Amino acid sequence: MSRLVVVSNRVPNPANGRTRAGGLAVALEQALKQRGGVWLGWSGEAVAEPDPTPTLHDAGNVSYAYLDLTPDDVQEYYNGYSNRALWPLMHTRLDLTEFARKDLASYLDVNRRFATALAAMVRDDDIIWVHDYHMIPLASELRRLGLKNRIGYFHHIPWPAPDILTALPRHDDLVRALLQFDLVGLQTEADADNLFAYLTREYGLRSNGRGIVGWDDKTTRIAHFPIGIETEGFAKRARRAGKASFVREITESLMGRKMIIGVDRLDYSKGVPERMAAFEKLIESDADWINKVTYLQITPRSRSEVPEYADIERSVSETAGRVNGRFGEANWTPIRYVNRSYGRTALAGLYRAAAVGLVTPFRDGMNLVAKEYVAAQDPEDPGVLVLSRFAGAAAELHGAILVNPYDGEGVAKSIGVALVMPLEERRARWREMWASLVENPVDVWATRFLSALEDSPPSLASRLLGFMKSADNRFVTSRGREALTALW
């Protein structure tokens, strides 16, 4: 079995258990331990003169490799191009997309430095798996350095329609770099269709029917691999958490009221202020819910250096304050807004205690909160998931109530339906969603991607050269042999 090399913007610290709590980190570490390998990424540190050689931390047969960045890198590569250009663009927020050439230059430079550091560590038969939009140019840089390894890329966020993507200056360079990967994985079929549509419109490239496109001397397979969660493990965690003192205190403080829960990173793509406004419409239109339901919104801060995130934090706080000021009573706060993070066990217990899981992003690659909410439920008395149709999870969780997050009245109505849904319907919807989660847990997702990467087609030049070497083929001229050999 080939050794595995994982590359991502950030890398877990094996000395800190909290950084490994997420399902993705657990799945990747499991795959790394099975094969042995390296996980390379940014250390999280910004220093004036970073060492080009990674700092290594060995844990068994896995090496964790950390590269420092400069303060300018953090501002331009990370806060700039990654999170003020690519992130809003991929989430169809052209109004928030900002492009600066110095940010792009830093983005390319950081990827070049990552590639240089990685090339010194990679063996000829290693499989390389690159994660997310921070690292799109990495395969191109590795190919420039002469690496012929199988290299896969997984895009965790949405891939936009061609009209959106072409608004990005030098979008063609970005996509050409993407096609240097052997396998490009996306969350949903719609995301893959968007990428195929761009390739067809801009370059006339078409899939061969198996998701494979050819570009110059390179073939790339494009496919969707919806990411899962630790389904059984998270369900077990939720059962245990229900007995924890923290969860009991929260449920007792509800005084018999039903609870709606939303858990989101503070980001404009999540639609949190609009979700709060929809809850306001619910209690405004039906006074029976006044003092009968509490909405708990947990929203940790993120990317506070980016101005748009300060704006969304202010908007969420103002909306929560308006609703509570308008409808709150001395013994009831309609919206409990918490601007901090909780551990996965605490969240699992809160999900299980909530009658409604409210997940209404404007756009999301997958949204694992939706899946975790379903996994956490009591099969005998499950809650109801109200889910945005623009989250990738909507393609799998057919038992959810799907909503349009731009339609506040529609979301309010759906929340009301969820709160009074009969037990048998709740059970039936939950069973359908649970079956989907069991079929595609995160470790199966990782195995499927790596299997597809190992089975991905070799480059066009490699196949032609193999064809020439297999026999003295009379259809290939001597000049053609020389050209193809040079190409290889």
Radius of gyration of the chain measured on its C-alpha atoms: 24
Q: Are 405 and 274 in contact (CB under 8 A)?
A: yes
DSSP-based three-state secondary structure for 4: strand
Catalytic residue among 57, 72, 109, 156: 156
The CA–CA distances, whole Å, from 17 to 263, 300, 454, 475 equal 21, 19, 31, 60
> What does the angle CA 282 – CA 285 – CA 286 come to, to the nearest 5 degrees?
80
Q: How many CA atoms lie within 13 A of 130 on its CB side?
A: 27
DSSP symbols for 166-229: TTSTTHHHHHHHHTTSSEEEESSHHHHHHHHHHHHHHH-----SSSEEEETTEEEEEEE-----
- Token readout for 433 is 């969603």
- At 401, which amino acid appears? I
Catalytic residue among 73, 103, 267, 364: 364
364 has catalytic annotation? yes
Q: Residue 296, Cβ neighbours under 10 Å: how many?
A: 20
Residue 214: φ, ψ to 5°:
-110, 140
- Please tell me the distance from the alpha carbon of residue 423 to that of residue 439, in angstroms, as a whole number: 24
134 has catalytic annotation? no
- Please tell me the distance from the alpha carbon of residue 123 to that of residue 433, in angstroms, as a whole number: 42
DSSP annotation of 157 reads: S
Active site amino acids:
156, 364
